[in-house]
Amino acid sequence: MLGKIIDGIVKKTWSDEDIQKYVGKFKYACLVYSTNADLRHYSASGGTTTAILISSLQAGIIDGAVVCKAVLLDGKVRAAFYIAKTPEEMMESQGSKYVETRFLAEVLPLIREFNGKLAVVGLPCDLKALKRWQEKDKTIGDKVMFTIGLVCGHNSKTDLIDKVSERLEKQVGSKLKSYRFRFGHWRGKIEACFENGVVETPPSKIFNDYQNLFFFSERKCLACYDHYAYDADITTGDVWLFRLKSDPVKKTGVIVRTQKGEAVFQNAVSNKAVMYEMLDVRDIMDGQSRIGPSHYNVSARSRVSKYFALKLKDPVGEKVKWHSWVNAFVTLANLRLSESKWGKKIIFLTPRPLLKAYLFFKKGLESLK
Ligand SMILES: Cc1cc2nc3c(=O)[nH]c(=O)nc-3n(C[C@H](O)[C@H](O)[C@H](O)COP(=O)(O)OP(=O)(O)OC[C@H]3O[C@@H](n4cnc5c(N)ncnc54)[C@H](O)[C@@H]3O)c2cc1C
Ligand code: SF4
């Protein structure tokens, strides 16, 4: 009940034109979850992405999927792409990796060397780049059967995860053995396993509060307006609606865009790998009502970029209201601060209640219509 009231208060009005520009072309949207509880355990939302991959593998639509997992490289948490050829290997990729990757550099050789049909999961910018390769290189184009794009607010540079993991290692007095950025319901928890056998599951906010303030954001995200993965066959993301907070099963918001996407989604439905209910795409947009429009508004970031010695083009021509201007200013200021040595020190010395208040201020700006 309370959830419905909060949703009603923050609800925005989305015109057909808004849907077209923010979401792009699509067939329909739905609220989905994997029917396999094991598969939902470490999933980012409802485990839908992995459920679609596994049911496509079992139906012979693909022989493997390009996915990524968190690995420890020289003791540092990183994301590495690989081709998963079994359901177990696909499950190893579950959960979101909030750390920069080298998508094309790692994924193109993997696809070229693979002998068979593939699905690819990726962030909107990476799938856009892959699409160009699918069109110009037949060896790539012929192998990629479909793509699943993840809704994406922005991604973070390695500095953030390095600092968070360094703090955890100091607390526990042991080196990390494995790391999950987030699992579990709603905002979820981190899972950090250490060489001395200790397993810590702190709340994901010890990472996400810095991330949501755009400290250590990748620079490319400032120029990006593709929140919902225009170029994917299927888009999957969280549905941050308060009415779903008390739902015992966390769900995925799915946007089915193309015929290929519909075929693989319906295959998962008919195999009972997923359960779904139809959803108005506006519900998904309401769940992203802060970050969706502010992500799209490159115009605001372009206007303030001159104050931060950056030159950002404006490809979208959005109106820049005062609050979008201030929000863009805060975003760029935070990103630039996190790029300097002294800035990093200030950020990590800031007491958490102050950081939280700053985050509420930023979220407030993002919520204004
Ligand atoms: C950097 C990032 C930012 C995101 N921002 C938002 C957001 O603002 N709003 C929102 O609603 N959702 C966002 N998501 C998407 C969301 O967190 C889930 O990934 C999505 O809901 C799918 O969940 P699932 O349970 O279906 O996937 P799972 O079954 O858990 O599978 C996760 C899949 O994601 C792939 N993956 C994980 N991280 C990466 C990565 N960095 N690059 C490429 N592939 C990856 C894995 O290979 C795996 O196939 C973001 C994800 C990432 C990685
Ligand atoms: S915000 Fe855009 S550029 Fe940044 S990681 Fe996401 S899709 Fe890529």
Cα(96) to centroid(ligand 1), Å: 4
Cα(117) to centroid(ligand 2), Å: 26
Helix (H) or strand (E) holding 67: strand 64-73
**Ligand 2 mutation target, pool 218, 236, 294, most atoms within 8 A of CB:** 218
287 CA closest ligand 1 atom index? 11
Percent of the chain with pLDDT over 70: 97
Q: Which residues pair with residue 29 across a beta bridge?
A: 255, 279
The closest of 97, 46, 72, 9 to 248, measured between CA atoms, is: 46
CATH fold of 2-6+22-153+226-289, please?
A: Aspartate Aminotransferase; domain 2 (3.40.640)
Which ligand has an atom closest to residue 43 CA?
1
Cβ-based neighbours of 152, under 8 Å, separated by 6 or more: 123, 124, 125, 226, 227, 229
Answer yes or no: are the C-beta atoms of 98 and 161 closer than 8 Å.
yes
Asked whether 231 lines ligand 2 (CB < 6 A), one says no
Tens of pLDDT, residue by residue over 123-146, are 999 999 999 999 999 999 999 999
Tens of pLDDT, residue by residue over 141-191, are 999 999 999 999 999 999 999 999 999 999 999 999 999 998 887 778 999
182 CA closest ligand 1 atom index? 17
pLDDT at res. 1:
55
| Degrees, nearest 5: CA angle 154-256-239 | 50
pTM, two decimals, is: 0.96
Asked whether 152 lines ligand 2 (CB < 6 A), one says yes
50 CA closest ligand 1 atom index? 29
Which ligand has an atom closest to residue 274 CA?
1
Domain limits of the chain? 2-6+22-153+226-289, 156-217, 297-369
Asked whether 49 lines ligand 1 (CB < 6 A), one says yes
Which ligand has an atom closest to residue 237 CA?
1
- Please say if the pLDDT value at position 300 is more than 70: yes
Please name the residue whose Cα sits nearest to atom 3 of ligand 2. Answer: 221
- Please say if the pLDDT value at position 75 is more than 90: yes
Which ligand has an atom closest to residue 98 CA?
1
What mean pLDDT, rounded, does the chain reach?
A: 95
